[in-house]
A and B are shown apart, each in its own frame.
Chain A
Amino acid sequence: DVVMTQSPLSLPVTLGQPASISCRSSQSLVYSDGNTYLSWFQQRPGHSPRRLIYRVSNRDSGVPDRFSGSGSGSDFTLKISRVEAEDVGVYYCMEGTHSWTFGQGTRVEIK
Chain B
Amino acid sequence: EVQVVESGGTLVQPGRSLRLSCTTSGFTFGDYVMTWVRQAPGKGLEWVGFVREKGTTEYAASVRGRFTISRDDSKSIAYLQMNSLKIEDTGVYYCARAPPWELPDWWGQGTMVTVSS
Contacts and interface: CB of A to CB of B under 8 A. Distances in A.
A78 interface: no
Given A49-B45, A92-B45, A104-B44, A37 B103 contact: yes
A90 B44 contact: yes
A37 B102 CA distance: 7
A17 interface: no
B107 A48 contact: yes
Interface in B21-60: 35, 37, 44-47, 50, 58, 60
A76 to B, nearest CB: 13
Interface string A18-52: 00000000000000010101010101000011110
Contacts of A60: 105
A101 interface: yes
Interface of B: 35, 37, 44-47, 50, 58, 60-61, 94, 96, 101-105, 107-110
13 contacts: A37-B102, A37-B103, A48-B109, A48-B110, A49-B104, A51-B103, A54-B105, A60-B105, A92-B45, A99-B47, A99-B58, A99-B60, A102-B47
